[in-house]
Amino acid sequence: MKLSVIGCGYLGAVHAAAMASLGHDVVGIDVDQAKIEALSAGRAPFFEPGLPELLLAGVESGRLRFSTDTADAAGAAVHFIAVGTPQKAGSTAADLRYVDAAVDGLLPYLSVGDIVVGKSTVPVGTAERLAEIVAPTGAILAWNPEFLREGFAVQDTVAPDRLVYGLPPAAADAEAVRTALDEVYAAALTTGTPLVATGFATAELVKVAANAFLATKISFINAMAEISEVTGADVTELADAIGYDARIGRRFLNAGVGFGGGCLPKDIRAFAARAEELGRGESVAFLKEVDSINLRRRQRVVDIAVEELGGSAYQKRVAVLGLAFKPDSDDVRDSPALDVAVLLNGLGARVLAYDPEANANAKRLHPQLHFAASAEEAVADADLVVVVTEWKEFRALTPEQLAPLVAAKVIVDGRNCLDATAWREAGWTYRGLGRP
């Protein structure tokens, strides 16, 4: 099929490349000239395993093109809106200006019967509003939320665990959308991927409800970590034990420095803001607590570090291992790891930070920080080591390997990703979160 993808950030670039890999003819559109140049040359503008290969193959096959000109979207049967919906400045609500601009920019190039498919995460009610804007062109609007995880984005797009179609109310329009999307996602559907076909409001809500649930699960276990810290319990053992209950499940029960990234934090805030607009603020008031618990954990890591530094971080050398909000990503948006580095730096510590992929992005946001080119360089002469992103290379570090490099054998494991016993037996002071 001929597809256009408006917005070539995380979501759009991966979606465009994945759709081309499935045999579709795809044009990706973005206003960012540098991004389009990189993508056109088959280079990924951000770190995502598997994406560079997919981009190169797509561009070489001729089935994947990128452009800064929305006119190049003309002629596609399906147009995906994949622009960002960041948090609004000075508010917790979502900023819809990019979605609105993408739809407005597309209007002159739409033909009767074209399908415009929103993939961006939006406040409930957005699709209904946009459908009216699109209607005069004879095109049909639908909403098809995306559930990809950074680090697994390619796999999640090519083989999603479910598909959700938010269909328009008119039966004939709904049928047209269904037929088109079934063709777009034929590969996934033939392997038995579950499909939920529903209305606009449900489709929009599915996305934010899923992220709200995941955020709540993480903050729940971090709340248990807080209780563990004052009772001598071990939150990792607690998570294992409750996780054996299949109704609870062990995934997303890793206590630590908390969640970050471009999705979970802003999505729960936008959801709470939208619920308030709808007069139902109390229904998701708990999300504010979820947010507070989450943000407290960043400070907790800093407090533990200061405690281990003898009450003051001033002029102490601190190695911060990890800056990305999670491993296998160079994304530092709302990153707990980066926050910890910034907070310690603000307390006067001599922070040397290292992330396998995120140094450059962190430096752009916080040029006052100092960066190392390797974990070994970061920990050299350190009075304290903090691990805040559980990259594989950090989990593989051994106490024996680091001991000769540091000034003091003290490690704060902000992700509970190291073997506490092994580090303690090797003579280190090991501090986890929610663990004795």
Taking contact as CB under 6 A, which single stretch among the options 60-68, 95-103, 145-153, 365-373 is the one that binds ligand UGA?
A: 145-153
Site string for ligand UGA, 148-167 (x = CB under 6 A): xxx-----------------
Using the rule CB under 6 A, is 258 a contact of ligand UGA? yes
Please say which residue, 201 or 209, places its beta carbon nearer to ligand UGA. Answer: 209
Taking CA atoms, 366 is separated from 37, 126, 354, in Å, by 26, 34, 13
CA–CA separation, 2 and 425 (whole Å): 61
Taking Cα atoms as reference points, which of 29, 30, 16 lies closest to residue 58? Answer: 16
Please state the closest distance from residue 239 (CB atom) to ligand UGA, in A. 8
Please state the closest distance from residue 368 (CB atom) to ligand UGA, in A. 23
CB 341 within 8 A of CB 302: no
Site string for ligand UGA, 39-78 (x = CB under 6 A): ----------------------------------------
Please say which residue, 263 or 411, places its beta carbon nearer to ligand UGA. Answer: 263
Please state the closest distance from residue 403 (CB atom) to ligand UGA, in A. 28
Q: Judged by CB under 6 A, which of 8, 154, 263, 301 binds ligand UGA?
A: 263
Quick count: other Cβ atoms within 10 Å of Cβ 351?
A: 27
Out of 263, 275, 340, 369, the active site residue is 263
Please say which residue, 150 or 173, places its beta carbon nearer to ligand UGA. Answer: 150
CB 235 within 8 A of CB 433: yes
Q: Which H or E run includes 286? A: helix 286-308
Using the rule CB under 6 A, is 324 a contact of ligand UGA? no
Query: Three-state SS for 299?
Result: helix
DSSP 369-427: SEE-SSHHHHHTT-SEEEE-S--HHHHT--HHHHTTT-SS-EEEETTS-S-HHHHHHTT
What is the amino acid identity at position 232? G
Using the rule CB under 6 A, is 261 a contact of ligand UGA? yes
Taking contact as CB under 6 A, which single stretch among the options 256-264, 271-279, 345-353, 357-365 is the one that binds ligand UGA?
A: 256-264
Q: Is 310 exposed, middle or buried (0-12, 13-18, 19+ CB in 10 A)?
A: exposed
Residue 8 designated active-site: no
Residues that bind ligand UGA (CB under 6 A): 121, 146-150, 211, 214, 218, 252-254, 256, 258-261, 263-264, 325-326
Active site residues: 263
